[in-house]
């Protein structure tokens, strides 16, 4: 099995932290033995921050099977969002267009984070999830009913319960899908910081009925910079890495923001970004 040391910017879109060893299992039995050693998985790293030190990570980039049968699309956990969007344009169906423009995300990460935007989220289309259960080492399946009961706003039972190896989605025919994808990309270009900046998307979850970006903005964090990290001027909930920020700087700016928002607004902000 391949194993190599990768830089933080190869592993995550924000590029915080230090280089980390990564194993790339070829199949389920290799993945099972890595899980037994207590190693954890990273997807595209688009909602993840690396700590400065830690055990090796697992990448599922070899788990990229795609099967479309009728209205069911089964995707390996390592399939990228951009690959699915290409398939949507080619076969004219609706699925992940609300996330178009999000860089590097993979199916495993989209499921684990129950990613969402514009009033839609992954669980709305998720039919079943196959995962390698940490406790038993078996491949288990979550059905639609269990998904509806356990997936919440930007959270799911994963990765705590196990590693998603594949997920099946219900797709809906859509002749105007290419135009919809273009429209969403244009909307993101207007609302979000430019795609080439190093960021992990939303830093904090939106507290119930509130906007984390608005709270941060009202507490003076739009454009606020601490060492190498800065809350974006375009969207205050997006943290931008302007240099080679270590993990300690990430903790520092996040805690500074949390404390001030708690003091001024009485709201506890919860991280959306996952520390791996
Ligand atoms: C510019 C930008 C815009 C964004 N916009 C949005 C948005 O509109 N809406 C939104 O919801 N998110 C958004 N994000 C965040 C991010 O793209 C999503 O959270 C995405 O789902 C993360 O997928 P990933 O593969 O990159 O996961 P990672 O960031 O690699 O991992 C995230 C978490 O998922 C876990 N994980 C990854 N793969 C697996 C697996 N196979 N099994 C179990 N657990 C796994 C990791 O351990 C980690 O805890 C944005 C990010 C960026 C950079």
Three-state secondary structure readout of 83-97: HHHHHHHHHCEECCH
Q: Is 274 in the pocket of ligand 1 (CB under 6 A)?
A: yes
Pocket test for ligand 1, best of 9, 22, 47, 157 (most atoms within 8 A of CB): 47
CA of 227 to the centre of ligand 1 (A): 25
The ligand 1 atom nearest the CA atom of 63 = 41
Supply the mean pLDDT for the chain: 96
Please give the CATH topology (third level) of the domain spanning 2-59: 3.30.43
Range 194-275 has CATH code 3.40.50.620: no
Q: Is 60 in the pocket of ligand 1 (CB under 6 A)?
A: yes
Ligand 1: residue whose CA is nearest its atom 19: 47
Report residue 191's pLDDT band, with 50, 70 and 90 as the boundaries. confident
Q: What is the mean pLDDT of residues 197-209?
A: 96
pLDDT value of residue 196: 85
Tokens of 93: 């169906």
Domain with CATH 3.90.78.10 in the chain: 194-275
The ligand 1 atom nearest the CA atom of 107 = 25
Q: What is the pLDDT of residues 8-18, one digit of tens each?
A: 999 999 999 99
Report residue 194's pLDDT band, with 50, 70 and 90 as the boundaries. confident
**Under CATH, which number does the domain 66-173 receive?**
3.30.465.10
Domain with CATH 3.30.43.10 in the chain: 2-59
Domain with CATH 3.30.465.10 in the chain: 66-173
Ligand 1: residue whose CA is nearest its atom 50: 201
Active site residues: 154, 202, 272
Q: Is 177 in the pocket of ligand 1 (CB under 6 A)?
A: no
CA of 212 to the centre of ligand 1 (A): 18
Q: Is 115 in the pocket of ligand 1 (CB under 6 A)?
A: yes
Return the exposure string of 48-69: e unless at least 16 CB atoms fall within 10 Å of the residue's CB, then b. Answer: bbbbeebeebbbbbbbbeeeee
Q: What is the pLDDT of residues 148-178, one digit of tens each?
A: 999 999 999 999 999 999 999 999 999 999 9
Ligand 1: residue whose CA is nearest its atom 27: 109
Tokens of 72: 């069911």
Task: Reply yes or no on whether the pLDDT at 193 is more than 90.
Answer: no
Q: What is the pLDDT of residues 102-116, one digit of tens each?
A: 999 999 999 999 999
Ligand 1: residue whose CA is nearest its atom 49: 274
CA of 218 to the centre of ligand 1 (A): 27
């Amino acid at each position: 099995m391949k194993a190599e040391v990768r830089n933080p910017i190869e592993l995550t879109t924000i590029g915080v932290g230090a280089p980390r060893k990564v194993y790339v299992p070829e199949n389920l039995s290799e993945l099972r033995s890595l899980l037994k050693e207590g190693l954890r998985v990273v997807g595209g790293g688009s909602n993840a921050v690396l700590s400065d030190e830690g055990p090796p990570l697992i990448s599922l980039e070899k788990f990229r099977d795609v099967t479309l049968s009728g209205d069911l699309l089964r995707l390996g956990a390592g399939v990228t969002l951009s690959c699915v969007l290409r398939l949507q344009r080619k076969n004219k169906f609706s699925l992940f267009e609300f996330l178009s423009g999000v860089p590097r995300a993979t199916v495993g990460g989209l499921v684990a984070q129950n990613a969402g935007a514009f009033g839609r989220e992954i669980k709305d289309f998720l039919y079943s999830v196959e995962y390698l259960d940490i406790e038993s080492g078996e491949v288990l399946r979550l059905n639609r009913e269990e998904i509806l009961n356990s997936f919440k706003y930007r959270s799911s039972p994963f990765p705590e319960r196990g590693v998603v190896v594949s997920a099946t989605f219900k797709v809906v025919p859509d002749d105007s899908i290419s135009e919809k994808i273009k429209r969403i990309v244009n909307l993101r270009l207007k609302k979000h910081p430019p795609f080439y900046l190093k960021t992990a998307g939303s830093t904090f979850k939106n507290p119930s009925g509130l906007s984390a970006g608005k709270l941060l903005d009202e507490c003076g964090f739009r454009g606020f910079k601490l060492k190498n990290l800065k809350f974006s001027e375009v969207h205050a909930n997006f943290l931008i890495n302007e240099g080679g920020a270590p993990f300690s700087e990430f903790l520092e700016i996040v805690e500074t923001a949390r404390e001030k928002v708690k003091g001024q607004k009485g709201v506890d902000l919860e991280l959306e970004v996952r520390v791996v």
